[in-house]
Amino acid sequence: MTGIDRRTLFHASGVVAGATALSAGTPLAAAAERGGHGDRPGSPFPLTTRNPLVERRADPFITRPVDGMYYLTGSVPEYDRVVVRGATTLDGLASARERTIWRRPASGPMGGYIWAPELHRIGNRWYVYFAAGDSDDPFRIRTYVLESDNADPRASGWRPPRRMVTAWETFTLDATTFAHRGRRYFLWAQHEPGIDTNTNLYIAEMASPLELATEPVRIAVPTASWETQGFRVNEGPAVLIRNGRVFVTFSASATDARYCMGLLTADENANLLDARSWTKSANPIFVTNAETGQFGPGHNSFTVAEDGRTDVLVYHARDYRDIEGDPLFDPNRHTRVQRLHWNEDGAPSFGVPVGRGGPISRLSPMDAPHLVVRHFEYRLRVEGNVRELADTQFRFVPGHLGARTVSLQPVNFPDRYVRAADILRVDPYEDTDAYGRETSFVREPGLAHRDGVSLRASTGRRAYLTHVDGRLVLTSPGRGRAERERSTFWIR
């Protein structure tokens, strides 16, 4: 290995090789595509790791599949039109042809900034809710709705926009809609007269997709320090109903690196039009992460992967912190997607906005499939109910000893790798032979089950990564079933 700059070699091929670590047609790839059964978690559904998914599309909204198609819309940097693209896969949205379904008029109402469209299939019609300013005052923002009878939302024939009337003639934006227990709701951000904030969150029941049936109920006001950086903002609500609860994510603060996401929660049986039904989490749940190089994540939506079950977080973020001028007019808020996980208590677990690279894995020992491998204070261990999701997420990347080895890269510390020295830990990169040997493993079909994975040290002795009473060690497993299970891991 002497004479090789491993860091240069690794990073030059990391994105491509990492993304193809399980190449189609290989035995491990076939195993990864099979689901789990019994006490076997199985492998996660393969989700695109293209990052970003679509460049220069802020406030992204991706539908759940409709007749086998995903549709994406979002704010364009020119803030002058509503666009839609469609594909049969999430990854296909990256290269799908984009259609403009409506463009702002040259003057008058809606002739200003066009923001944050959302596309919803309600009954047998499509609706796009979007915010628009006027030509003489682009910040006189109100909410409008487009309607279409077509089966394909990319087709022409959309009816002229109609204004969504709310209780006040004030700044209004970021509307979404959802159905729950036979009732349809409208959820949006607005400035309320008499309250010293930019925008709060409101909910009302709908009489139809075009009008409200009830007065607005205020369910969130920006008061915490993380909600009031630069501006006092709660905006961009998105709804996900799971595990007996109604979850609403929202975005807060200025649209630079301080932009972040919060969470509201209500019981699924509660009266959603009663403000007392909603609880705001004390801390933000998705924030800038300098380690992964993702800044200002927010204005999200939710969809599902192609398996119809795996929840997917859709959001925008920038690849840099420093912005020249007004952040609102910086064009590089890109659409990104990543898997949404769930804690044992049924609450969503967001982790960190992940950087560029290949598929993300969580490892569970076969002898304790309810536990996961995680790092804590840079040391590896095996635990259950880990709420720090990113501490349990790794990428298999090309190993420092060449194409026949792999290294494990923590998602939230991409400059470190799992190192098997005196203890198993995640250490910063070093351009040394010892570091190359100690961070490289041979990935094999599981010793106890071929659908699992076993990681053999590349140091020459037959030692495998092994779970022992919550610790991870390198040891040579015996021939017994229990010993081989401790050296076999499911990918989750």
Catalytic residues: 59, 235
Contact 384, 470 (CB under 8 A): no
For residue 68, what is the DSSP state?
Answer: T
- Number of neighbouring beta carbons within 10 Å of residue 275: 15
Provide the token pair at 236.
């961009």
Rounded distance between C-alpha atoms, residue 60 and residue 173, angstroms: 14
Q: Which of 383, 456, 380, 460 is nearest to 416 (CA)?
A: 380
Cα three-residue angle 347-352-358, rounded to 5 degrees? 115
| Sheet containing 334-339: order of strands | 295-304, 311-318, 334-339
- Beta-bridge mates of residue 234: 252
Provide the token pair at 8.
């240069």
Cα 481 from chain centre: 38
Q: Which of 314, 300, 101, 120 is nearest to 206 (CA)?
A: 120
Q: Is 48 helix (H, G, I), strand (E, B) or coil?
A: coil
Cα three-residue angle 220-249-57, rounded to 5 degrees? 120
Q: Give CA separation, 106 vs 74, 134, 163, 207, 479, in Å.
A: 21, 10, 18, 32, 77
- Number of neighbouring beta carbons within 10 Å of residue 96: 20
- Beta strand pairing status for 394-399 and 424-428? unpaired
Cα 376 from chain centre: 23
Q: Is 106 helix (H, G, I), strand (E, B) or coil?
A: coil
SS (H, E, C) 149-165: CCCCCCCCCCCCCEECC
- Number of neighbouring beta carbons within 10 Å of residue 434: 11
Rounded distance between C-alpha atoms, residue 485 and residue 488, angstroms: 5
Q: Is 452 helix (H, G, I), strand (E, B) or coil?
A: coil
Element holding 482 (H helix, E strand): helix 481-486
